Amino acid sequence: MSGLQRISRREFLRRTGQAGGGLVFALTLPGAARASDVVMPAMQPSGASVAPNVYVNIRDDGIVEIYCYRSEMGQGIRTSLPQVIADELEADWDKISVIQAVGDDKYGDQNTDGSTSIRKHFDLLRNAGATARDLMIAAAASRWGVPADECVARHHAVHHEASGRSAGFGELVDAASKLPLPETAAFKDRKDYRYIGKSLDTIDAMDFTTGRAIYGIDKTLPDMLYASIERCPAFGGTVASFDDSAAKQVAGVVAVIRLPEPTVPALFNLQGGIAVLADNTWAAEQGRKALKIEWDRGANGGYQDAAYKKSLLEAAQKPGTTMLERGDVDSETESTHDALYYAPLLAQAPMEPPAALARVNKDGTCDVWACVQNPQATRDTVAATLGVDKDKVTSHVTLLGGGFGRKSKPDFAAEAAWLSRETGRPVKVTWTREDDLRHGYFHSVSAQYYRAGMDAEGKTTSWLQRTAFPSIFSTFAPGVVTPTSMELGLGALDAPWNVPNLRIEACDATAHVRVGWLRSVCNIFHAFGACSFVDELAHLKGVDPKQHLLEMIGPARKIDPAADGAEYANYDQDLATYPVDTGRLAAVVNKVADMASWGRKLADGRGLGIAVHRSFLTYVGAVAEVSVDDSGKLVVHEMWICMDAGTVINPDRVIAQMEGAGIFGMSLAMHGELTAKDGGIVEGNFDTYPVVRMSEAPAAIHCHIMESDAPPGGVGEPGVPPIAPAIVNAYFAASGKRVRELPLRNAGLT
């Protein structure tokens, strides 16, 4: 190759897949920030340093250590977070060392969840960099005996323009260590950003490429045991009796231990079961297979998905609890149209299943290494499990091979810690794929009922939405059967529709599994139902779906559900601080339609579908182009995704998240479904719980980021919700058949 070529991952795989024999290639990564594992105090460099705050440490050799207090699971936060700090600090990117922080309250919120890492922490990160910059400026001014406002930080040094003097950050450490630490500092102007808004390569690229990256499933310690745990198929069930004699005869098996019974509520606590511990993973799993266990399946042993689905659909067709009301949806209209939508139980299914290694030390302290999204919850849960103060627990965060919400729930770390204490040795618990799909924290099954009223001109004048699903909070408190206002604020209470009469109702539903959050949470089924129903109305009226969508959104305005009497506890009251902006919502509709050349002539059997949704302060429009082949199978040819996420830190990472959201959302729409028999989840691996394969993936996912100076919105989650309705609406455009239940494979379309 005579020059550098930028090719997509898909193109890379296509090219290398065509090569015969073997693959030989050279890869050079540019100079960049460096990634480090957790640095324990005894391993700190021997030179002097100064820490203006808990996020930044400047060493006298000039290296700036930035502590990444969020978890890296492919979204690029170990790059984007330092970009913000380094920009305000005026640090050079090749003199940055990123250190993964342990779980500690001093960092503030460490839960890498809810697309909050940048949107909630942008000013905090800027302040961390700006205060460090001002400390360096103050140190230089003190050293030179000049006013601080005559000095400027630029390119990893402080300069005094009048005298021509300059000093690198490392040279100023000693002087800085004698000065008071600034608490706040002025932020840079957007026009002066060096890194914010720029596509920088991930700092972990070399480790990813060379195989040096350490995930939770990779971590080892000397003298450790490997544990595999057999759990009751039904949530909350217990061991009635067991025979471990055969398991103990398996070569390599060291011990068989019964875990404490599950708690009510479940929280992140142990689920019970029988653990087989061995000196290697294979022996532990073979010993587990040799166990003979009689289960008491308990209160959830009668859970059958078909019967539950029927009851949920029935519940959605009856009046629920009114959560928001504007006008009178029961007033007389010229015509009405209603529909019932259903979305099934789902699993996060990250590529790396849960894994944790724990060591309870002789002094009563405990170290845990795990692929967790929330190291503070890990610390708290492990401490409660062991009955010790949380200060005795250190939660080390490894890289995560995906998370999607599953790994913010550290029950697997608690299992490892409890077993380590029982055995007196380090214990690594690795969940199998089957464990992950059958014993996780599942995304709620949902039924939704919609009814719209139209006037004589066909304009929608009323909108009734009922939503029925088991609440996430049933996992954390007993007796919860009604969806909470927080969950309803994810795609229901924040409805953007320009109708004078609107009512949102919630219906009761009892949980029979541990319910948790999955990428985009309730926005998934709320967007599927609402955007599909809006498309239904368009075809019913004989109106172009894009134009009808814009009509339903209406003129540019700001919507706070509290104005209609809604009481909600959305993520940090975002709707109160950042109301729904229908102007931004309409803008992404228009842009994504232009990207897809909406309105163009399509071949017979092809169709375009459009959908739009706001979540986590971000506005996303999606268009899918599909066809139905001769066998009746649905083929997704291309997708277009437009995102307005406000201020964007790293466009390359945002586009990667949009592409990933397209595939994730497509997997849920086409394949995702868990079923239950006698309380236990039936599906166990990707043969029965498929995700989109490369052969099914669209030929292209076209992405566009809207220019915006609004505060940062979420990125990892908001791209998912509009994908399923865009595909379903495209299928109707191609076939004339409306699908109101997911996944599409149940309708024989995949």
Q: What is the pLDDT of residues 303-331, one digit of tens each?
A: 999 999 999 999 999 999 999 999 999 99
34-210: CATH topology: Aldehyde Oxidoreductase; domain 4 (3.30.365)
- To which H or E segment does residue 258 belong? strand 253-258
CB of 263 closer than 8 Å to CB of 477: no
What does the pLDDT look like over 490-522, one tens digit per residue? 999 999 999 999 999 999 999 999 999 999 999
CB of 675 closer than 8 Å to CB of 437: no
Measured between alpha carbons, how far is residue 597 from residues 370, 594, 620 in Å? 46, 5, 17
Whole-angstrom Cα distance, residue 134 to residue 123?
16
Residues 6+ apart with CB under 8 A from 262: 235, 236, 237, 238, 269, 270, 271, 272
Residue-level pLDDT at 41: 36
Residue from 597, 581, 579, 588 nearest 706 by CA: 588
**How do strand 501-507 and strand 274-278 relate by DSSP bridges?**
unpaired
Whole-angstrom Cα distance, residue 118 to residue 623?
27
Whole-angstrom Cα distance, residue 271 to residue 289?
19
CB of 675 closer than 8 Å to CB of 442: no
Going by pLDDT thresholds of 50, 70 and 90, the confidence category of residue 24 is very low
Whole-angstrom Cα distance, residue 491 to residue 506?
13
Whole-angstrom Cα distance, residue 512 to residue 679?
8
Decide which of 5 and 297 is more confident: 297
Q: Is 14 left (phi over 0), alpha (psi -120 to 50) or beta?
A: alpha
Residue-level pLDDT at 576: 82
How does the average pLDDT of the chain come out, rounded?
94
Q: Is the per-residue pLDDT at 639 higher than 60?
A: yes
Residue-level pLDDT at 16: 47
Q: Is 404 left (phi over 0), alpha (psi -120 to 50) or beta?
A: left
Going by pLDDT thresholds of 50, 70 and 90, the confidence category of residue 567 is confident
What average pLDDT does the segment 187-195 reach? Answer: 97
Going by pLDDT thresholds of 50, 70 and 90, the confidence category of residue 11 is low
Tracing tokens 């599942």 back to the chain, one arrives at 442
Q: What amino acid is encoded at 32 in this protein?
A: A
Q: Is the per-residue pLDDT at 711 higher than 60?
A: yes
CB of 496 closer than 8 Å to CB of 693: no
Is 225-299+354-430 in the same CATH topology as 34-210? yes
**How do strand 634-644 and strand 700-705 relate by DSSP bridges?**
parallel
Sheet of strand 151-153, all strands in order from the earlier edge strand to the far edge: 151-153, 157-160, 165-168
Tracing tokens 């998934």 back to the chain, one arrives at 524
Give 8's DSSP letter. Answer: -
pTM value?
0.94
Residue-level pLDDT at 565: 85
Whole-angstrom Cα distance, residue 174 to residue 139?
8
Residue-level pLDDT at 445: 98
Specify the range with the lowest mean pLDDT, choosing from 32-36, 41-45, 71-75, 480-484.
41-45
CATH number of 225-299+354-430, picked from 3.90.380.10, 3.40.190.10, 3.30.365.10, 1.10.260.40: 3.30.365.10
Residue-level pLDDT at 34: 67
Residue-level pLDDT at 632: 87
Q: What amino acid is encoded at 458 in this protein?
A: G
What average pLDDT does the segment 598-607 reach? Answer: 96
Going by pLDDT thresholds of 50, 70 and 90, the confidence category of residue 6 is low
Q: What percent of the chain has pLDDT over 70?
A: 93
Residue from 421, 419, 441, 438 nearest 429 by CA: 419
Residue-level pLDDT at 47: 84
Sheet of strand 56-59, all strands in order from the earlier edge strand to the far edge: 34-36, 96-100, 64-68, 56-59, 49-53
CB of 215 closer than 8 Å to CB of 44: no
Whole-angstrom Cα distance, residue 408 to residue 517?
9
Q: Is 389 helix (H, G, I), strand (E, B) or coil?
A: coil
- The token pair that represents 577 in the structure block: 């601080």
Going by pLDDT thresholds of 50, 70 and 90, the confidence category of residue 454 is very high
What does the pLDDT look like over 76-127, one tens digit per residue? 999 999 999 999 999 999 999 999 999 999 999 999 999 999 999 999 999 9
Q: What are phi and psi of 72, to 5 degrees?
A: -90, 115
Residue-level pLDDT at 569: 59
Q: Is 623 left (phi over 0), alpha (psi -120 to 50) or beta?
A: beta
What does the pLDDT look like over 163-175, one tens digit per residue? 999 999 999 999 9
CB of 731 closer than 8 Å to CB of 615: no
Whole-angstrom Cα distance, residue 514 to residue 268?
10
Tell whether domain 305-347+441-747 is in CATH 3.20.20.190: no
CB of 93 closer than 8 Å to CB of 29: no
Whole-angstrom Cα distance, residue 540 to residue 422?
65
What average pLDDT does the segment 218-242 reach? Answer: 98
Residue-level pLDDT at 8: 55
What average pLDDT does the segment 329-352 reach? Answer: 97
Residue-level pLDDT at 40: 34
Residue-level pLDDT at 20: 39
For residue 228, how far is the Cα from the chain centroid? 27
Q: Is the per-residue pLDDT at 32 higher than 70?
A: no
Domain ranges of the chain: 34-210, 225-299+354-430, 305-347+441-747
Burial class (CB within 10 angstroms; exposed 0-12, middle 13-18, buried 19+) of 189: exposed
Residue from 448, 442, 423, 451 nearest 514 by CA: 442
Whole-angstrom Cα distance, residue 288 to residue 244?
9
What does the pLDDT look like over 259-318, one tens digit per residue? 999 999 999 999 999 999 999 999 999 999 999 999 999 999 999 999 999 999 999 999
Q: Is the per-residue pLDDT at 240 higher than 60?
A: yes
- The token pair that represents 724 in the structure block: 């399923």
For residue 575, how far is the Cα from the chain centroid? 20
What does the pLDDT look like over 174-185, one tens digit per residue? 999 999 999 889
